[in-house]
């Protein structure tokens, strides 16, 4: 049997989670710029130095959960089963995330997830950093396709289409969440529109939008 994390590691995980929770709570209540690291430390009952032992900056307290998902698409493509295309793998993963109401694809209306989304949208510095995740995901997926033997430019073109489709779907989910629409309606529609989007990738644009 594989042993779980020891007491020391469990305490570190608990501290990290508490810091993220308290930071999210303060940020959503008062705004990002109005909250200091010292106040976050006090709310989490730790020292200011402890905060910086876990996170390099105040911004990291917002983005740490999101950064865990930067490599999702690259990992899915790298680990897909024999006979499964890159598009099919990314589609499968995306639909599973919708079913699980995963905040990483914009289908969670939990107070923390919704509050952080509103915070990012309302804070220019955070919005810029969130947008940069697109490039990081794109680079990682491109590297996977190149490792599999694809010519670099073609790998980047394919990666751009996969990441772009996924991000467009997530952006629409975010728009509807911020508009206050019911999460179950958003999720149901997200499955349908994701199907159409990934169908376009699988079949190619071809005669799509042909002018008559």
Provide the CATH number for the domain around residue 38.
1.10.10.60
Query: Are both 48 and 100 inside the same structural domain?
Result: no
The answer to the question of residue 1 being in a domain is no
Please state, in angstroms and rounded to a whole number, the distance separating the CA atoms of residues 187 and 172.
Answer: 11
pLDDT at 4: 64
pLDDT of residue 5 exceeding 90, the answer is no
- Report which of residues 5 and 97 the model is more confident about: 97
Please state, in angstroms and rounded to a whole number, the distance separating the CA atoms of residues 105 and 200: 19
For 133, phi and psi rounded to 5 degrees? Answer: -60, -30
180: its two tokens: 């206050």
Q: Kindly state whether residues 47 and 87 are assigned to the same domain.
A: no
What percent of the chain stands above pLDDT 70? 98
> Who contacts 85 (Cβ-Cβ below 8 Å, separation ≥6)?
202
Looking at residue 88, what is its pLDDT? Answer: 96
pLDDT band for 7, please (50, 70, 90 cuts): confident
Give the pLDDT mean for 12-29: 92
Tell me: do 100 and 166 sit in the same domain. Answer: yes
pTM, 2 dp: 0.86
Domain for residue 210, yes or no?
no
**What digits encode the pLDDT tens for the residues 24-61?**
899 988 889 999 999 999 999 999 999 999 999 999 99
Distance between CA atoms of 66 and 72, rounded to whole angstroms?
11
For the chain, give the mean pLDDT.
92
Close Cβ partners of 84 (under 8 Å, ≥ 6 residues apart): 92
In a domain, residue 63? The reply is: no
Measured distance CA(111)–CA(76) in Å, rounded:
28
pLDDT digits (tens, 9 = 90+) for 142-169: 999 999 999 999 999 999 999 999 999 9
pLDDT tens-place string over residues 68-97: 899 999 999 999 999 999 999 999 999 999
Which residues span the domain enclosing 102? Answer: 69-203
User: What is the domain-level CATH number for residue 90?
Assistant: 1.10.357
- Are 84 and 12 in the same domain? no
pLDDT class of 2 with cuts at 50, 70, 90: low
- If one counts the domains in the chain, the total is 2
Percent of the chain whose pLDDT exceeds 90: 75
Q: What is the pLDDT of residues 114-133, one digit of tens each?
A: 888 999 998 998 999 998 99
Same domain, 125 and 158: yes
pLDDT at 205: 82
Q: Is residue 62 part of a domain?
A: no
Whole-number Å distance between alpha carbons of 133 and 173: 17
């Amino acid at each position: 049997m594989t042993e779980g994390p020891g007491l020391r590691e469990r305490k570190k995980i608990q501290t990290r989670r508490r810091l993220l929770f308290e930071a999210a709570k303060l940020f959503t209540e008062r705004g990002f710029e109005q909250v200091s690291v010292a106040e976050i430390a006090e709310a989490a009952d730790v020292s200011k130095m402890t905060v910086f032992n876990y996170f390099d900056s105040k911004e990291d307290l917002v983005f740490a959960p999101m950064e865990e998902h930067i490599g999702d698409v690259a990992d899915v493509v790298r680990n897909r089963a024999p006979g499964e295309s890159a598009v099919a793998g990314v589609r499968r993963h995306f639909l599973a995330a919708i079913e699980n109401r995963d905040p990483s694809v914009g289908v969670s209306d939990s107070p923390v997830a919704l509050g952080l989304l509103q915070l990012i949208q309302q804070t220019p510095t955070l919005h810029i950093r969130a947008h940069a995740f697109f490039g990081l995901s794109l680079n990682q997926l491109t590297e996977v396709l190149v490792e599999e033997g694809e010519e670099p430019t073609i790998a980047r073109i394919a990666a751009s289409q996969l990441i772009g489709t996924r991000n467009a779907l997530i952006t629409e989910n975010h728009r509807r969440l911020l508009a206050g629409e019911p999460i179950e309606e958003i999720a149901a529609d997200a499955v349908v529109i994701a199907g159409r989007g990934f169908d376009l990738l699988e079949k190619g644009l071809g005669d799509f939008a042909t002018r008559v």
